[in-house]
Structure 1
Amino acid sequence: MRFPDPVKVFDFLPAAALGTIMLLTVAAVFQRYVMSTPIAWLEEVNGLLFLWAIMLGSAAAKGAGSHLSIDILTSLLPPRGQWIMSIVVEVLTLFVAGLMSWYGYLLASQVQFKITNVLGIPYSYIDYAVPAGGIGIALFSIRNIVVLCKGHDPSVAKEMN
């Protein structure tokens, strides 16, 4: 049994959220300017979808190796030094993603009883996007560390799934 590529799963969800935002915005413009009846809940839904798209999209970018990096100093190192620097960067990324996930979880837990004005849903539904994105980034960092320790280039990690 072949499992789906986790990067593709993380790619699909933000793309679906952004597509939904686009469709809802077109519908809102039509409702407001043609029908003269604005959609009251649209701003809250778009905000929720946008935050989830950003956080899951950042995890997808980590998994695909698409985050911006400046390798001017790393490229001057010998191969062993580049390998060590790659491990250090992945461990630091894992640490930051862990902090982001933990504090995002704490934030979402604190606002679980605070309700949005229009939709009437807990703010935690919005804020849980932060730990979800952090967990995704952490998982891809762990994958990259494992791939690096096996002696491979992390850019081939996608093919190894």
Structure 2
Amino acid sequence: MKLSEESRSGEVGAPTSLLVRSKNVIYHAFKWVSIVSIVAIFLSLLLGVVVRYVLSTNLGWVTEVPNLLFPWLTMCAIVAAAAKNEHIGIDLVVEKLPSLPRKGVVLAVDVIAMIAFGTMAVHALDVVEIAGSQRLPITQVAMSWAYWAVVIGFLGLAVDSLINIALVLTGGDQFSEPQVSHGEDGI
């Protein structure tokens, strides 16, 4: 997304531009982790099928790859969608409000979301600690590795909500409208 010349040269241009670029960095980072996760899951399962039918043997570790990567795929895709403001929401009532009450509602929702996601990230650290002693049977990888996706995902969502708050407060929230139309962003 590109800002207009007025936005870049205006009073709110620099902070808004930095905030929008931060959301884009979050989007791309989490998008690529999602892509790598789904490709790795697909390739490992494909390898498992080929080995089973061609060599009549079994690669046990192949079944553990989805256990490790699916949480990363899920959480990173959620954060990427939130960074592009493409998450599920019903904005019918909010869009009908005048500008000031609409900003108040958006600000309140983002504050609540930031607090909730931050709290969930902190509590997910307890799960990581508990899961650290559990290991997958074949690879012996700690299950905490998969649960770190939850911590990082909720932190990503909290940071995205914080950026949305800053955009509303700096007057740059009009630049945080959905930037992708129905997944037509491409890879």
Per the normalisation by structure 2, the TM-score is 0.77
2:99 aligned with 1:70, yes or no?
no
Task: Specify every segment of 5 or more residues in structure 1 that has no aligned partner in the other structure, as ranges.
Answer: none
Name the structure 2 match of 1:138: 158
Superposed CA RMSD in Å reads: 2.1
Aligned CA distance change for structure 1 residues 9 and 158 (closer, same or farther; 3 Å): farther
Tell me if the contact between 2:85 and 2:176 (Cα under 8 Å) persists in the aligned partners: no
- Write the deviation string for residues 116-155 of structure 1: whole angstroms up to 9, x where unpaired: 2121122111111110100111111111110110012264
Name the structure 2 match of 1:29: 49
2: CA distance, partners of 1:155 / 1:32: 51
Name the structure 2 match of 1:58: 78
Name the structure 1 match of 2:29: 9
- Write the deviation string for residues 33-64 of structure 1: whole angstroms up to 9, x where unpaired: 22211210112111211111111121111111
1:99 deviates by 2.1
Tell me if the contact between 2:164 and 2:176 (Cα under 8 Å) persists in the aligned partners: no
Tell me if the contact between 1:93 and 1:141 (Cα under 8 Å) persists in the aligned partners: yes
Paired residue type of 1:123: M
1: CA distance, partners of 2:39 / 2:174: 30
Name the structure 1 match of 2:112: 92
Tell me if the contact between 1:61 and 1:67 (Cα under 8 Å) persists in the aligned partners: yes
Between the aligned residues of both structures, percent identity stands at 25
Name the structure 1 match of 2:99: 79
2:60 aligned with 1:40, yes or no?
yes
Aligned CA distance change for structure 1 residues 143 and 158 (closer, same or farther; 3 Å): farther
- Indicate the SS of the match to 1:73: helix
Paired residue type of 2:134: K
1:158 deviates by 9.7
- Indicate the SS of the match to 1:117: coil
Name the structure 1 match of 2:134: 114
- Indicate the SS of the match to 1:128: helix
Aligned pair count?
158
Aligned CA distance change for structure 1 residues 15 and 154 (closer, same or farther; 3 Å): farther
Paired residue type of 1:147: L
Paired residue type of 2:34: P
Tell me if the contact between 2:82 and 2:160 (Cα under 8 Å) persists in the aligned partners: yes
Aligned CA distance change for structure 1 residues 24 and 147 (closer, same or farther; 3 Å): same
2: CA distance, partners of 1:98 / 1:73: 27
Per the normalisation by structure 1, the TM-score is 0.89
Tell me if the contact between 2:26 and 2:156 (Cα under 8 Å) persists in the aligned partners: no
